[in-house]
Structure 1
Amino acid sequence: MLPILNIAAYLFSAIEDPLALKPVLLASAQARQLMGTILLAPEGINLFLAGAPEEVHGFVAELRADPRFATLETKESWSHTQPFRRMLVKVKREIIRMDHPAIQPAAGRAPGVEAETLKRWLDQGHDDAGQPVVLLDTRNAFEVDHGTFEGAIDWRIEKFTEFPQALLDHRDELAGKTVVSFCTGGIRCEKAAILMREQGVENVLQLEGGILKYFETIGGAHYRGDCFVFDGRRTLAPDLSATGNAASARAAEDPDLALKG
């Protein structure tokens, strides 16, 4: 087992006092010698953290003791070295920026599909109702270029705020299909799935836990390439090993860049 545990997690849950919560979480993380980024907003929490496994698990246990975060689920991977350079907690308007205020995941999310079910559908070429399945990559174009699912739709967006317009431009292409939206850890595809349903796309699901949970559960079946992550490891292979040649200092230091889901 490698010495550093890395986790990615998010949860849409109403936080009335994100500014008050910020110093509490920062102090707890620093006391445990954790590094990474935590983003807080009225709509919830989004985080990437790394450190000694017992300290990471202890921090997560503290979070889950708060009723607002009781259902927080994490994606885990391991590394030889600490992929972050500092510990940051920031308060923002959204934990993943979409600039579409009507989308409120905490009020009700789109249905999800587990990694095992998605693999079975991809193996057989259709969902359990016999309907064709299309995978929609909701990540930015430069992330997709490092790797994605075979045959996935890629609208070449440069930032997630472009997704609503891209949907308007391409919505008719999704008719009559089961659409599975996906991203790195689940946060972007959750908002994207809600928006698609509101825009009249009938059969929309989100991949639970995103690519990282798929790798953790399934491995690389039906996936080609690596998965870009916003820390010093840069990219992960389907076995969750780091494949980046060098740390990306900007990604590791900038929480607005790092916390893209």
Structure 2
Amino acid sequence: MPDPHPATNAPVCVAALYRFARFDDPAALRAPLLDLCNQHGIKGTLLLAGEGINGTIAGSREGIGAVIQHVRALPGCADLDVKYSGASHTPFERMKVRLKREIVTMGAGDLDPAANAGEYLDPQAWNALIADPDVVVIDTRNDYEVAIGSFARAVDPQTASFRDFPQWFREHREALLGEGRQPKVAMYCTGGIRCEKSTAFLKAEGVEQVYHLEGGILRYLEDMPEELSLWRGECFVFDQRVSVGHGLVEGSHTMCRPCGHPLSEADRLSPLYEEGVSCPHCHAGD
């Protein structure tokens, strides 16, 4: 079955993709992938590592389809996770395929999320789980992402980087879970990749009942009707769109180029905001 392509009226197709898989020689995969992307005029960034592939690309529907077909032919990537959205213009300036130690950097050793991640939940099952007040809900994203949108009742680790998550969890474990208890833990992120690695980390730390939102916030906003949604605000994305809302439509946030913080409409009305120069977050030292 072909992949769905929401926002079909948008002139540019955007595909966020990842897959934890074992690549014996990721360097050998780089040139053919980059050549194919350039051949089809695709822009964006793809990361290759021994643990798999991760990235976001944009271009024509036909070009994106050709790249996805190529990636799904790589070892262990037949079930590649892809989330499609649309954009009014290409949100990237060039195409990069980079070799990395990890496709999402946590620095917690060899966790093997492909085999040890938590239990996947679709949006409907996710709603049912997080409605339970005894469930611990954790947002695994960075502080500036959480600031513009989140699920109600979610714990915000207030981390500046995903690398900070292991230390944060170890320092706050007792407060989160309670001494001698084994509550269910529900975790989420933008597209699913940080959830897979963080749930594998919690399982390695001895937490038994760990769940995560399959496809992340992006899949949730795509599939869940707004009137039934438990999401509040917009979702930060790592491209020139800055944020998206329900239905994956482009959001209202812009980016402060000097400090890199997403800006709401209220931020842009602040007397501390000067386009291209500074914003309230610059002045606050965020």
Scaled by the length of structure 2, the TM-score of the pair is 0.81
Q: How far does the alpha carbon of each residue in 1:119-140 deviate from its partner, in whole angstroms, 9 at most, with x for none?
A: 2334xx32xxxx7223210000
Match of 2:195 in 1: 189
Q: Is the alpha carbon distance of 1:245 and 1:161 closer, same or farther for their aligned partners in structure 2, counting shifts above 3 Å?
A: closer
State the shift of 1:68 in Å: 2.7
- Rounded Cα–Cα distance in structure 2 between residues aligned with 1:2 and 1:224: 24
The question of whether the paired residues in 2 share the 8 Å contact of 1:233 and 1:244 is answered with no
- Rounded Cα–Cα distance in structure 1 between residues aligned with 2:170 and 2:245: 33
Range moving further from structure 2, 32-41 or 50-59:
50-59
- Rounded Cα–Cα distance in structure 2 between residues aligned with 1:244 and 1:25: 33
- Rounded Cα–Cα distance in structure 1 between residues aligned with 2:85 and 2:65: 13
> Percent of counterpart pairs with the same letter?
38
- Rounded Cα–Cα distance in structure 2 between residues aligned with 1:249 and 1:35: 21
1:206 aligns with 2:212: yes
5+ residue gaps in structure 1? 252-261
State the shift of 1:247 in Å: 6.0
- Aligned partner letter, 2:184: T
Q: Is the alpha carbon distance of 1:74 and 1:155 closer, same or farther for their aligned partners in structure 2, counting shifts above 3 Å?
A: same
- Aligned partner letter, 2:116: G
Q: How does 1:96-107 map to 2 (within 5 A)?
A: 96-107=104-115
Match of 2:221 in 1: 215
- Rounded Cα–Cα distance in structure 2 between residues aligned with 1:67 and 1:158: 33
Task: Return the match for 1:137 from 132, 136, 139.
Answer: 139
- Aligned partner letter, 2:134: P
The question of whether the paired residues in 2 share the 8 Å contact of 1:3 and 1:79 is answered with yes
Match of 1:13 in 2: 21
CA RMSD of aligned residues (A): 1.8
Query: Alignment length, in residue pairs?
Result: 245
Task: Return the match for 2:152 from 150, 153, 156.
Answer: 150
- Rounded Cα–Cα distance in structure 1 between residues aligned with 2:157 and 2:116: 26
1:165 aligns with 2:173: no
Q: How does 1:246-261 map to 2 (within 5 A)?
A: 246=254
The question of whether the paired residues in 2 share the 8 Å contact of 1:13 and 1:69 is answered with yes
State the shift of 1:102 in Å: 3.1
Q: Which runs of 4+ in 1 moved over 3 A?
A: 244-251
